[in-house]
Amino acid sequence: MIHFNSETRTFNLLLRSSYYAFQVDADGRLIHLGWGPRPQDASGEDQISGKPVFEPYNIPWSFITQFRPDEVLTFGEITSFYPTLKVSFPGLPVPLKEGESPHLPLRDLRLRYAGYEIVTGAKPGLAPAHGLPVRELSPRETLRVRLQDPLQSLYVTLCYRLDPEHDIIERWCELENAGQQPVSFDICCFASLHLPNGTNELTSVSGTWAREFTPQRQRLSQGVQMMESRNLQTGHNSNPFFMLNRPGQAWEESGVVYFGALAYSGAWQIALEQLPTLDIRLHAGYHPFDFQLDLAPGERHVTPALVIGVSLQGWGGASRRLHDFVRRHVLPCPPQDAQWRPVLYNSWEATYFNLSFENQVELARKAASIGVELFCVDDGWFGARRSDTAGLGDWVVSPDVFPGGLELLVDEVHRLGMQFGLWVEPEMVNPDSDLYRLHPDWVLHFPGRPRTTARNQLILDFGRTEVVEHIFSLLDALVERYSIAFFKWDMNRLATEPGSVAGKAIWRRHVEGVYRIMDRLRQQHPGLDIQTCSGGGGRIDLGMFGRTDQAWVSDNTDAFDRVRIQEGFSLAYPACCMEAWVTHEKNHITQRVTPLNLRFDVAMRGALGIGSSLNELSQAELAEYASFIQFYKMIRPVVQAGELYRLERLEEFDASVIEYVLPDGSEAVYSEVLRDHQVGVFRPAALLKGLQSRLVYMVLDRSNTEVYRATGYELMVQGIPPAMLDYPGYSRTLYLRAVQ
């Protein structure tokens, strides 16, 4: 619900258990009044009335006014803290006094209230344009508050789209140059947030290739701390989401936690600022490094969204709100959508670049025999791509690999009852490729400078519309010709020489190009699924999930490492889009040998995939794979649609115990993994959540054998008895079903 008190000019946004409020002050500025939990018994009538005249910050005393919590913080007036927007007016026609110099470009911005409206159907910038519905179709209210600079005709509209059920608000800005002169933005955040004093404990993730999503918790110090990506993609080193709470006031399942995530897949920045007053601000949006956003007279720009929310149930509650929000409001949901993510086979770790028709057919037959539903051929199927040194960009089936054409494999995969998928890396080119030989100017580079390759590749210039069009046409033709149901869309290098026909705007134009191709492909082929991958988990965010179905979270498939990576992923993103493979006994990156049940127990926490070299496995091993996959299909609805509880986190006992439970508490999955164990330490039993106390639950193992039976009450107060013998690598997955 959105309320406006016209007397005090106060806005109250009321959600299920939280509120957000701000007020127009006497000078027409928007002043933040508060954001946080509402009392449980509050009704729609209970609102903040605001001040008749907004007093505290009208004191003409700069010590106070410099900390004034404007909803949109602009460079200029009194404050020198970090702004939401910083603008240059290169040729503002200010009325000058005789002999006065214009001091151009004018760089301060003053925004004053110019009205509001409440609408349904408003969308942030770069919202998916593929036309596929999301799961939840009911309209959502958006508050649009219009502000104007009194000197220059620049309008800024702050947008707040409500998802009351999850206590989530999507925030973005619409910028409109209604004047006669161009405007450039030096800093452009999608929104700034004001958090209560002392809310300075930050939960986020950091990492690198093969170590993505490592959870970390730290205290903010005074000043500004950045989380960022200065790349064309979201990045491996950090991910654009955050959780903030007062230290010692929130835990996994209790306390107030503020959270947020960006719906954008390019160069981003989240600036976390602790003021000298200990008030906390957060500014999130485009990375201002090497940034360019110019609006010519009459032009408009709508920023993507910052999704924010409040949890009253700790970090776990924040994750569950985000998960459900993603499942219902973000992920595309084609009308003919199969309900669950299919069990996928991917050939990468089995055959790398040594593809042949024969080895792929053999893999496909074995994959089908163990219950795989989607068969994906990874890198190496096209052009001269027999290694990573050549062929990238030439999206034509290689006759060396498939002398009879790819159709033979596709037909066999279909005959076996599976869908067919292909790996692509559309934004890249090897210099040793037909595409590059034909169009050497189509890559990002600075003319006259050497072109530096990474993984032997260069990046196509998506600032050129003809390049975007060319890539779309090739991919479109592939889907058409080979009945492709799934693309694994990869991106394997960072932009270090971003010279483009689009100038510095390339950072945004690249993302727009990728989104455009994905959206058009999905529009043309509503049955097509896409997996986002960027050398593992380098491009995962809410913008990507608007047009992809799942993510490849890391190239590191070692179950010991993976359990940590997946825990970090689970902070923000749901299990249904977390592709997780079981691979060989000896891991290709870490060289660690792990037992099969551990590999499955970890991979079954997400959308299960298989990446093992099936052609090297015995019949007995294949049969074991088949039995795990059969078990996974039974628990899949709970894993993929259930609510996640992290019952024990790695930071506690080096054990990860998680539970997925259906919202009605009728079924649950209990998954336990021990990374390390100290002799003589008795881990407490993990207490289950979300069950019904009165019901009796049967607990089944993979062989469908009942291993335990207890009431929901017992399971929630005593848990499942821990294993008698703990050891590193111990794991189990149990399925709980209410029987009475």
> Residue 623 is inside which H or E element, if any?
helix 619-641
**432 touches ligand DGJ (CB under 6 A):** no
Distance CA 156, CA 134 (A): 29
**Nearest distance from C-beta of residue 199 to ligand DGJ, angstroms:** 36
By CB under 6 A, what part of segment 335-364 binds ligand DGJ? 348
* Total residues in contact with ligand DGJ, by rule CB under 6 A: 11
Query: One of 411, 434, 476, 555 is an active-site residue; which one?
Result: 555
For residue 490, give both structure tokens.
């990869």
Q: What helix, strand, coil percent values describe the chain, rounded to 5?
A: 20, 30, 45
One-letter amino acid at 19 equals: Y
**569 touches ligand DGJ (CB under 6 A):** no
The DSSP code sequence of 495-550 is -SS---TTGGGHHHHHHHHHHHHHHHHHHH-TT-EEEE-BTTBSS-SHHHHTT-SE
Distance CA 115, CA 101 (A): 34
Distance CA 6, CA 327 (A): 37
Cβ proximity to ligand DGJ: between 135 and 386 the closer is 386
Mention every residue, 6+ apart, whose C-beta is less than 8 A from residue 529: 421, 485, 486, 487, 548, 549, 550
**726 touches ligand DGJ (CB under 6 A):** no
Please count the other Cβ atoms lying within 10 Å of the Cβ belonging to residue 575.
26
Q: Show the site string, 617-656: x = touches ligand DGJ by CB under 6 A, - = not.
A: ----------------------------------------
Q: Active site includes 70?
A: no
Mention every residue, 6+ apart, whose C-beta is less than 8 A from residue 177: 153, 154, 183, 295, 296, 297, 298, 299, 300
Question: Which segments of 413-508 are extended strands (E)?
Answer: 419-424, 428-429, 458-459, 486-489
**610 touches ligand DGJ (CB under 6 A):** no
> Which residue in the set 25, 174, 394, 490 belongs to the binding site for ligand DGJ (CB under 6 A)?
490
**Nearest distance from C-beta of residue 538 to ligand DGJ, angstroms:** 8
Distance CA 243, CA 313 (A): 12
Query: What's the CA angle centered on 677, arms 673 and 683, to 5 degrees?
Result: 75
> Which residue in the set 536, 543, 665, 712 belongs to the binding site for ligand DGJ (CB under 6 A)?
536
**561 touches ligand DGJ (CB under 6 A):** no
Q: Measured between alpha carbons, how far is residue 544 from residues 425, 460, 650, 652, 729 in Å?
A: 15, 19, 28, 32, 33
**Nearest distance from C-beta of residue 215 to ligand DGJ, angstroms:** 21
Cβ proximity to ligand DGJ: between 252 and 378 the closer is 378
Cβ proximity to ligand DGJ: between 589 and 685 the closer is 589
DSSP 155: E
**35 touches ligand DGJ (CB under 6 A):** no
> Which residue in the set 555, 624, 701, 714 belongs to the binding site for ligand DGJ (CB under 6 A)?
555
Cβ proximity to ligand DGJ: between 497 and 555 the closer is 555
One-letter amino acid at 386 equals: R
- The closest of 499, 338, 514 to 426, measured between CA atoms, is 514
Mention every residue, 6+ apart, whose C-beta is less than 8 A from residue 114: 146, 147, 148, 155
| Stretch of residues binding ligand DGJ (CB under 6 A), selected from 235-243, 532-540, 598-606, 684-692 | 532-540
| Stretch of residues binding ligand DGJ (CB under 6 A), selected from 285-293, 329-337, 407-415, 531-539 | 531-539
CB contact at 8 A, 90 and 105 = yes
| Stretch of residues binding ligand DGJ (CB under 6 A), selected from 368-376, 438-446, 528-536, 697-705 | 528-536
The DSSP code sequence of 24-71 is E-TTS-EEEEEEEE--TT--TT------SS--GGGSS-HHHHTT--BS
DSSP 654: S
**558 touches ligand DGJ (CB under 6 A):** no
Cβ proximity to ligand DGJ: between 490 and 529 the closer is 490
Query: Helical H runs in 81-138?
Result: none
> Which residue in the set 71, 212, 252, 379 belongs to the binding site for ligand DGJ (CB under 6 A)?
379
**Nearest distance from C-beta of residue 532 to ligand DGJ, angstroms:** 11
Distance CA 535, CA 516 (A): 21
**486 touches ligand DGJ (CB under 6 A):** no
By CB under 6 A, what part of segment 691-710 binds ligand DGJ? none
Cβ proximity to ligand DGJ: between 323 and 562 the closer is 562
> Which residue in the set 172, 423, 625, 653 belongs to the binding site for ligand DGJ (CB under 6 A)?
423
**Nearest distance from C-beta of residue 554 to ligand DGJ, angstroms:** 8
> Which residue in the set 552, 600, 645, 660 belongs to the binding site for ligand DGJ (CB under 6 A)?
552
Q: Active site includes 555?
A: yes
DSSP 343: P
> Which residue in the set 189, 284, 533, 688 belongs to the binding site for ligand DGJ (CB under 6 A)?
533
**Nearest distance from C-beta of residue 537 to ligand DGJ, angstroms:** 9
Cβ proximity to ligand DGJ: between 236 and 246 the closer is 236
**Nearest distance from C-beta of residue 535 to ligand DGJ, angstroms:** 5
CB contact at 8 A, 523 and 130 = yes
Closest CB to ligand DGJ: residue number: 379
> Which residue in the set 492, 500, 550, 587 belongs to the binding site for ligand DGJ (CB under 6 A)?
492
Query: What's the CA angle centered on 657, arms 651 and 662, to 5 degrees?
Result: 130
**Nearest distance from C-beta of residue 417 to ligand DGJ, angstroms:** 25
Please count the other Cβ atoms lying within 10 Å of the Cβ belonging to residue 664.
9
Query: One of 461, 490, 541, 549 is an active-site residue; which one?
Result: 490
Cβ proximity to ligand DGJ: between 259 and 487 the closer is 487
| Stretch of residues binding ligand DGJ (CB under 6 A), selected from 111-119, 250-258, 458-466, 529-537 | 529-537
Cβ proximity to ligand DGJ: between 608 and 699 the closer is 608
Cβ proximity to ligand DGJ: between 166 and 385 the closer is 385
> Which residue in the set 426, 535, 690, 719 belongs to the binding site for ligand DGJ (CB under 6 A)?
535
- The closest of 617, 554, 557, 566 to 590, measured between CA atoms, is 557
Cβ proximity to ligand DGJ: between 74 and 554 the closer is 554
**315 touches ligand DGJ (CB under 6 A):** no
Question: Can you tell me whether residue 711 is helix, strand or coil?
Answer: strand
| Stretch of residues binding ligand DGJ (CB under 6 A), selected from 48-56, 299-307, 533-541, 710-718 | 533-541
CB contact at 8 A, 559 and 672 = no
Cβ proximity to ligand DGJ: between 332 and 611 the closer is 611
> Which residue in the set 324, 378, 541, 643 belongs to the binding site for ligand DGJ (CB under 6 A)?
378
Distance CA 571, CA 532 (A): 18
Catalytic sites, residue numbers: 490, 555
Residues that bind ligand DGJ (CB under 6 A): 348, 378-379, 423, 490, 492, 533, 535-536, 552, 555
